[in-house]
Chain A
Amino acid sequence: MRYHRPGLDVLAHTLLIIGALIFMLPVILAVLASTQTPGALFSGTLPLSFGTSGLDHYLTLLSEPVRGIGVPAWRLMLNSLLMALGIAIGKLVFAILAAYALVFFRFPFRRCCFWLIFVTLMLPIEVRIVPTYGVVADLGLIDSYPGLILPLIASATATFLFRQFFLTLPPELMEAARVDGAGPWRFFIDILLPLSKTNIAALFVIMFIYGWNQYLWPLVAMSSADNATLVMSLKRLTLSTDGTPPWHLATAMTVLALLPPVVVIIIMQRWFIKGLVDTEK
């Protein structure tokens, strides 16, 4: 058949495999380098196989205070996890409640509220970083988890998505629930939440990744070593005054930083793609 050319299929597979390999290459090299002894690594030619150090560098990073950071990497990972979960759960809870109110209740200034929330879609925290620092400092929340998490929750992506979803539900649903004697709270818990399960899962993946990977705001807001996150600490290992960074540690640290979100995205791929593509609409 003219429409399908086997030659092109071969070309497509070849290109895709090459593409996938190129995209994996940086991570493969980092994993290989993280298992080398410093001597083998700095001998001039990077060995393209697993080294003799095994997981030693990882264990060192995780158990002993990292040079230049002051706390072991497990602490950094725990802080990152707290931040990511705080952002993901916080965003979901606030967003779903706000969308519920916006769609199912009539109250004064409803349109105005919608626009107030909607405007936040446009401006990432990086733009308002200096005044945000001022506000958080005025509230006495610098170097604390509420101070870290709350400004990152102040955005409307999730609210918007839930609003779109709630609008597709037939209004009869709420009327039927009311006839059956369910109050607004009951309707929310027993009907709306179960219907939103896939949306919640999708947004959770996106927000978890977004939270874990935050860089600038934690750097500004978390001043003590005990509160540092993993991603914001990467620079401490790549910055070196005498030229070459301690790559055996820097690569191991980077692998630790990218492993949790990559595992999440691969396991929850289906929801992630649904969530990502839905936010466009």
Chain B
Amino acid sequence: MSARRTLLVAAVVAYPFVDRALGLQTVHAVSDGMIYVLLALGLNIVVGYAGLLDLGYAAFFAIGAYAMGLLNSPVVGSPLYGHPWSFWLCIWVAAAVSALLGLVIGAPTLRVRGDYLAIITLGFGEIIPVAIRNLGDITIEIGGWRPIERLNLTGGENGVNPVGRPYLPGVPFETDPVPWYFLILVIGALSLWAMSRLRDSRLGRAWMAIREDETAADCTGVNPISTKLLAFALGAWFSGFAGSVYAAKLQAITPGAFEFQVSIMLLCMVVLGGAGSLGGVILGGMLITLFDRVVLTQTTSFVRAVGRATGFPALAAVDLTLWRWFFFGLGLVVVMLVRPQGLAGRRVGPVAVPDDDDEVALADAAPAPRVEAIPAWLRERARPDGAPTPAALLEVRGLSKAFGGVVALSEVGLVIPPGAIVGLIGPNGAGKTTFFNVVTGLLRPDTGRIAFAGASLVGLRPNAIVARGIARTFQSIRLFPQLTALDNVLVGQHCRLTAGVAGNVFRPPAVVAEERRARERARDLLAFVGLGTKEAEAARNLAYGDQRRLEIARALATEPRLLLLDEPSAGMNPRETETLTELIGLLRRELGLAVLLIEHHMEVVMGISDRITVLDHGVRIAEGPPREIQRDPTVIEAYLGSGYEQDVAVTDR
């Protein structure tokens, strides 16, 4: 523990006593502020980590508060009221109920993306207070028969009051704000600890991968649905804590305390401080709460005093409280203009432009792959596990896919034997990438069969297909730009790790070992593709060729048996291309990895492919070994054109 941190802890612990000694009476305001900070931290999981804009987060706050109120208040005849320890029970129930609601609200995310998702959260944020308000007075009438008459479920506009307080022998929760301060401090500190552990875990990486690029994450083995649902549920879990403490501390909850404005304030706290940064969110939350509770009222007296002292009557009569919204808004605007990434957010540096002329740098950037650099564990994994190897690793039959009236694929068939390199070529628009997308599950085929190691893949989500052993790269590189090179590769390991939420927080030895192994493997892979020294660089700052190889490393981290490469050498210079070709060859030779390759560089594809399939307008027009393809008149006619002869000559030489 650093000296600074010790000092901070000491200050936080000593604060209420200093406050008391000086008679400041700020403990209440600060404690309330801390509740909002805890809420903002929960929202940070959803917005900052998983990148899901949530405009109705106050709904979870309300659910937490009402769960506490309804279970622990005499007004609605609650079962737990009067039992001394009920607060300590209710707080868990409240968190669980909130988390459950998080799942319910998160459920539409199965289908909805981006700002449409934001509007759904906003909708729930509007519905919940209305429902709470109205469920205080329910009458159901069916043709004169009233099975339910004036039933009070939630206390309606009266709210719930009082709410049972926590009980600890000898601790005066009734009269003294200081125990509350420490209660909230402990809950907050524990939550913070859990959140920071979640951030640096398999789950945290998955959230950030989803935030950066949902499709790429899906194709790297991260299940976006369950990952997003977990973000909602865990974010709600912490707001359940905050809500229940809020209810017990205030002793009274009313539906008006959970309206849209609260959600907006919480969002401002998160973004102002710096989405994704725990320290920043705490700072943003404290700034905003204290701003309107303390700063504005005090500033008025200050300005007036200055006015009186300097003899400006205009200043002496000023009432800044009338301007509080204005200054609050101005503050938000100014802070965002000065620091768009938030007060404590990491400044996103400009994208490094690779210098193509720098030969030295290039040589440095693209070392030739070496056999001995292949990670031992990857070898281990790739070794046939004794099961009889099927004749075809991937077998595609009669695959068709049309977009509206445009036929992208028509009755395409393709077979990849184990350990083979198959090239897929064709002119632009031939359907090559569509073929990849169908095989990897991004698109559903209209008709046709796809079998991998004997089992059908049709209808599986991309992440499930990755788990089966097919990894891919993208034509236009799709890394997780803000994550480091190491984290990018670690996301690839996601589907090979097993730690759950509890495991990630409490980290039993098995999880620690698993995580350590994953890191070792990721480093091995980075070293293997020649990025060993750049593991801490943000992916977006890497040179182009490095990004290409990082994407391959990420794909290899999923421990695949078949690798789909979509134009891996696009945009590379001859030297990088050469390295890449060697790399692919090495993977096959040493690991027996099958590769399906879309490639326009004829040297590459003709040089390393065992067989080649040619597509044109969605139809397979040829299939065979490279030499046959080069001589096939249909292919030459349809695709290669007259200039090709020379290219072949180059390759043949």
A binds B: no
Chain B positions near chain A (C-beta within 8 angstroms): none
Residues of A whose CB lies within 8 Å of any CB of B are: none
